[in-house]
Amino acid sequence: MSAGLDTDVTKRPWATRALDIALGRVSTLLLASVALLLGIATFAILAGRVKLGVHSSVAIGMSVADFAALLLLIIILVGRVTRVVLERRQGAAGARLHVRLVLLFGGVAAVPAILVAIFATVFFNIGIQAWFNARVQTALDESNQVAQGYLAEHTNDIRLDALAIANDLSQNGTIFYGDATGFANFLVQQTATRGLTQAVIFEPVTGQVIASAGLLAGMGATIPNQAEIASARAGQVVVISPPDSTLERAVIQLDSTPPLMLLIERPIDPAILDHVQKTEAAVAEYQRLSQNRNGLEISFALIFATVALLVLSAAVLIGLVIANQIAKPIGHLMRAAERVRAGDLTVRVPETATGDEVAGLSRAFNRMTGQLAAQRAELMVAYGQLDERRRFTET
């Protein structure tokens, strides 16, 4: 490019030149690419492709990064639009074409993004309604009732077994102090018949084991605590179901002198217990989400709006960059043509390496001005020679 066009650039207002420096193509495209990557990463988190906690530091950091990128995109977008408006008001060459291209590419980039955002919002609301409809609630409630019914049935069975063993001991008259062998023989039969892992008769005050039978008899018995013993003394069958154990126990006071107590244990299938716990956790989580449904919808709407604006701004910004790349060479050609019309045949326009028609037009213009300059120089030389001959003949 010749010094003439460089001088035109330096004569442009300082605001326009500052925007040219701040809104470079490389920095703009880099920021737009980062914004698109952030949008994809945030969508992956929302879609559950990346397992993160709702309140994890990574999710919070991602949201902050989204807002920061969105703010920068809006600033650059406003800056580029401001530059186009300034060029239009100054009557710069190619400004009207630039405005048309900006509107065209901005609209082409914005319309699909807006349509996708609208459809995504609609489908999201439909999905939320599908999550919390009556059929899902009924299915979860019935699953929870089945799980609780299994545990209740298991608890009722061990309670009835404790009562039956205590009644058999009382009716058969086998309870008498000091007859450990009688206790043991009876308990062996009862544990085998009722599928118990252990049956223990113990003295509640001292905790002394009088007799025991079952698979775990030789491993010692865990005597119930004082609160459980007190409830059993009141005539209740106390069922003990530790949350971290697969064994369920029942304690009942026997009709004996001195007063003794019966402790029985029965295993719970670990797989069934695991399914019950998972069902309870799922129902509790569903109820929590259902109660916080409005907050969930607002949170997802805000995050989705941020991502949608992020992608929309990046798409529009890329469209503006493309429009600028097309309009800028044409503006150079128009300004150079004005200089040629004024008689400056030394003007040149930048020749890009894109290899497209605009680049070819720039090269053709430079060749044309070069040829015109050479021809004018030849004409000036010929005119000088003719002028010298004329003056020679006159003298």
Chain segment 283-336, per-residue pLDDT in tens: 888 888 777 777 767 767 777 777 777 777 777 777 777 777 777 787 788 888
Q: pLDDT digits over 235-248, tens only? A: 888 888 876 677 88
What is the pLDDT at residue 321?
76
Per-residue pLDDT reduced to its tens digit, 356-365? 777 788 888 8
Is omega for the bond preceding 270 within 30 degrees of 0, making it cis?
A: no
Q: For 193-250, what is each residue's pLDDT tens digit?
A: 888 888 888 888 888 887 778 776 666 677 888 888 888 888 888 888 876 677 888 9
**First-residue to last-residue Cα distance in the chain:** 46
What whole-number distance in Å separates Cα of residue 143 and Cα of residue 326? 63
- Nearest-Å Rg of the Cα atoms of the chain is 45
Half-sphere exposure (Cβ direction) of 327: Cα atoms closer than 13 Å: 23
Write the pLDDT tens digit of every residue in 69-86: 888 888 887 877 787 777
What pLDDT, on a 0 to 100 scale, did the predictor assign at position 160?
92
Question: What is the band of 373 on the pLDDT scale with cuts at 50, 70, 90?
Answer: confident
The mean pLDDT value for 344-348 works out to 83
Please state the domain extents for the chain.
3-131+292-347, 152-286
Quote the mean pLDDT of the chain: 76
- What number is the average pLDDT over the span 47-68? 63
For residue 3, what pLDDT is reported? 45
Q: Which helix (H) or strand (E) holds 239?
A: strand 238-240
Give the Cα separation of 243 and 367 in Å (integer). Answer: 89
Q: Are 35 and 278 in contact (CB under 8 A)?
A: no
Q: Does domain 152-286 have CATH number 3.30.450.20?
A: yes
Per DSSP, 258 falls in state: S
Q: What is the pLDDT of residues 109-137, one digit of tens each?
A: 778 777 877 887 777 777 777 777 777 77
State how far the alpha carbon of 344 is from the alpha carbons of 31, 326, 340, 367, in Å.
40, 25, 5, 14
Q: Which amino acid is at 379?
A: L
* Tens digit of each residue's pLDDT (9 = 90 or more) over 248-283: 889 999 887 678 888 888 888 788 778 888 888 888
Whether 98 and 331 have beta carbons less than 8 Å apart is answered as: yes
* pLDDT at res. 13: 54
pLDDT band, very low/low/confident/very high, at 1 (cuts 50, 70, 90): very low
